[in-house]
Structure 1
């Protein structure tokens, strides 16, 4: 320890003084191994008209330079994607920069003035030469400190009321993202503790790499359940549904880009939806050339086949992997392509589904089924008759679906083979403590 000093001028309404010292230490660097998760771009800048205009001009210039190379027959689909990705990423880095979390100051100017006045009173105490001067200065300091606390409390109350009003308005408007963000601010900062992870035998794992391996093993087993013992014989339809198998048109791509929601988490390519929607015409023209290559080669870019799996706590005992559910973050441009496919096939496929299926269908819900069940129960109670109801809840139902059977079902419904062949070899990486694990199928 070298050059120790006290700074009596620093004031925090305490009888302690600020202590400053120079230390000479040898610290071991904690090296981060493996690939780290991506930092997001500050898309909030695109709400500003000037920034939006600057972004559109820069993006258009990039796309103009790519027009001729993308149209060449020698370029592959992967080459086209890398060029488009580089154009969007470099423009975002130049105009938007990375997202930073700024703490919004809630103290008013009046409070800051009172804090400054209290600090001056503290200086008077330190400079007092007689006991009488010091007693009088301390009395004035106590009064100044009361005013600071009163003003600080009023500022904090005003800030909380503004956040509460913002949350109420977001709830009325159905803006769930703003409601959630505002609620987090009201609840205060919460730092996640570094929890250990338990292996299959219930033993805690503290080493980071072993924890990452445990998460990979868990999700790999969860998402790749053994095939059914007696798989059903699902034959492909003799005739395909009336689904257009020609390359997507610019109008179809334009509609799909507009349907992508803002504010969604980005995938491994780090391309936000706001960047694609900043200039829909330019984006549509670029994606048209890319989608045409995808259609011809019946393959999607490798970036679209990778997802970042984020763990979300589901219930108690968070040291157990089973008490988390995973959400996979996929490429936003890949979602645009998926939306094009969905728009092409949804009307034709919807006619093949049973009328009894109400869940997971557009403009349908389970309200009628719930009402029917309630009427049955009420009639049973009214007439004092026996009623037996069997509810089946499959554990991890969607995670444990056999993928090979899914592909067979698509062909059974008559979905053209060209669409089914587009997605093969998908893989995931788990995000654990800001790092990415190894990929798994």
Structure 2
């Protein structure tokens, strides 16, 4: 899929009411797609021949892509809200930001956080210790790049520091901004990868 084809597809979409023009653009899109597919197949064959002895694993991956057993990597484009194809990185990021804001939009009134601990005793070290040791190893890290294994390796020093931090949050009602940030990874759930609505968002 090339930028030229995407532009033609967008032009075809806008010409739906004009039968003659629509058919002409449709034929051009098909011709361009066939040419792009032929070029892709030729490139894959050259890569297979090149990696036959140098890198067998890479060669096998190319063969699997060629026969349709393995999906090729997705293209760097996305559909805007109005259906227009966007390819610029900054506009793609703006579209994801727009989609996530709409997805998590909350019309409820903001709840006022009470200052001070009126609920009970402070958080205990034993509670923190139990929570830490229940954390599973080998999991992906968040924005802080701190793995569960690293926290466990700090032992009592880490337990003391985390308990102090949690008690401070509990007492003040203020959560550090760094703890409110998340990473979202878009996982396509259908073949239409250009559509943000065809993805599952994984939050880290």
- Shorter-normalised TM-score: what interval? 0.5 to 0.7
Larger Rg: 1
The answer as to whether partners of 1:198 and 1:204 remain within 8 angstroms in 2 is yes
Structure 1 residues 327 and 245: alpha-carbon distance in aligned structure 2, compared to 1, 3 A threshold: farther
C-alpha separation in 2, matches of 1:189 and 1:316: 13
Structure 2 counterpart of 1:298, from 173, 183, 190: 173
C-alpha separation in 2, matches of 1:282 and 1:324: 41
C-alpha separation in 1, matches of 2:193 and 2:71: 16
Cα deviation for residue 282 of structure 1 reads: 2.2
Query: What TM-score results when the alignment is normalised by the length of structure 2?
Result: 0.57
C-alpha separation in 2, matches of 1:319 and 1:309: 17
Alignment pair present for 1:205 and 2:86: yes
The answer as to whether partners of 2:78 and 2:92 remain within 8 angstroms in 1 is yes
Structure 1 residues 214 and 289: alpha-carbon distance in aligned structure 2, compared to 1, 3 A threshold: same
Structure 1 residues 254 and 190: alpha-carbon distance in aligned structure 2, compared to 1, 3 A threshold: farther
Structure 2 counterpart of 1:223, from 84, 98, 104: 104
Structure 1 counterpart of 2:163, from 288, 301, 312: 288
The answer as to whether partners of 2:132 and 2:151 remain within 8 angstroms in 1 is yes
C-alpha separation in 1, matches of 2:106 and 2:175: 25
**1:221-260 matched pairs, under 5 angstroms:** 221-224=102-105, 226=107, 245-260=120-135
C-alpha separation in 1, matches of 2:175 and 2:194: 37
Structure 1 residues 226 and 292: alpha-carbon distance in aligned structure 2, compared to 1, 3 A threshold: closer
Per-residue deviation, residues 279-324 of structure 1 (Å, max 9, x unmatched): 3322112212222222221222211111111111112201000001
Structure 1 residues 225 and 303: alpha-carbon distance in aligned structure 2, compared to 1, 3 A threshold: closer
Secondary structure, in 3 states, of the residue corresponding to 2:183? strand
Query: What TM-score results when the alignment is normalised by the length of structure 1?
Result: 0.27
> Any unmatched runs of 5+ in structure 1?
1-148, 157-187, 232-243, 330-441
C-alpha separation in 2, matches of 1:189 and 1:292: 50
Secondary structure, in 3 states, of the residue corresponding to 1:291? helix
Structure 1 counterpart of 2:192, from 309, 317, 324: 317
Cα deviation for residue 190 of structure 1 reads: 7.1
Structure 1 residues 209 and 260: alpha-carbon distance in aligned structure 2, compared to 1, 3 A threshold: same
The answer as to whether partners of 2:123 and 2:167 remain within 8 angstroms in 1 is yes
C-alpha separation in 2, matches of 1:195 and 1:287: 41
Higher relative contact order (CA 8 A, sep 6+): 1
C-alpha separation in 2, matches of 1:246 and 1:305: 25
Secondary structure, in 3 states, of the residue corresponding to 1:307? coil
Cα deviation for residue 195 of structure 1 reads: 3.2
**1:136-215 matched pairs, under 5 angstroms:** 192-215=73-96
The answer as to whether partners of 2:74 and 2:193 remain within 8 angstroms in 1 is no
Give the number of aligned pairs.
131
Cα deviation for residue 254 of structure 1 reads: 0.3
* Larger relative helix fraction: 2
Structure 1 residues 189 and 318: alpha-carbon distance in aligned structure 2, compared to 1, 3 A threshold: closer
Which residue of the partner structure matches residue 66 of structure 1? none
C-alpha separation in 2, matches of 1:251 and 1:308: 30
C-alpha separation in 1, matches of 2:191 and 2:70: 21
Which residue of the partner structure matches residue 92 of structure 1? none
**1:365-380 matched pairs, under 5 angstroms:** none
